[in-house]
Amino acid sequence: MKQTLGMMLIAILSATSAFAQQTSWSQHATVESVQVRQDFPDPAQLAEGTIAGKVAEGMLKAEIENVLRTQQAAWNRHDLDAFMSGYWNSPDLTFFSDAKETSGWQATLDRYKAAYASPGHEMGKLEFSDLRIEMLGPEAAFVRGAWHLTMSDGKIPHGRFTLIFRKFPEGWKIIHDHTSAAKD
């Protein structure tokens, strides 16, 4: 994550002069001799394929990955309420797993509690990997990845997921989750 953010910072700094030549800088802030635009345009307004457009897309992808890493950390603290903050708190949230559909944020939380936080169950240690984030627009993304749980008895349930993210005023939220477990 730190390496990804460092590479993004380098890309941003490299793109600064090219971006400044393409746009008017209405507000400037100087931070250790680096100019930072205060009114960075919406990524939808940037031409696809330009350096500035690629930087903006990279920033959006980093925001989405941060939601997933925050969820992973919450899960590993056994904090399902914080884990669920990555989901859209709406009755229209959809969650597909084991050929079953769960509709709504509360029903999804209840499903997680029954499967992982009830007597006789454990949450284990969660790890997300193989994340592939594809921007569908400035306010929507398609995410694919893998999940692994490490349980205290040494078992490692795992599987794949596809997520649809939507950007809301309060940030990126999962509006649809389709998770499957491997049948080993």
Query: Residues 114-122: what's their mean pLDDT?
Result: 87
> Among 167, 134, 162, 164, which Cα is nearest to 147's?
162
Task: Summarize pLDDT for 136-165 with one digit per residue, the tens.
Answer: 999 999 999 999 999 999 999 999 999 999
Segments making up each domain of the chain, as ranges: 2-181
Which helix (H) or strand (E) segment holds residue 107: the answer is helix 105-116
Confidence (pLDDT) at 27: 35
Which pTM was predicted?
A: 0.73
> Among 180, 182, 181, 177, which Cα is nearest to 83's?
177
Q: Does the 2-181 domain belong in CATH 3.40.50.720?
A: no
DSSP letter, residue 25: -
Confidence (pLDDT) at 48: 60
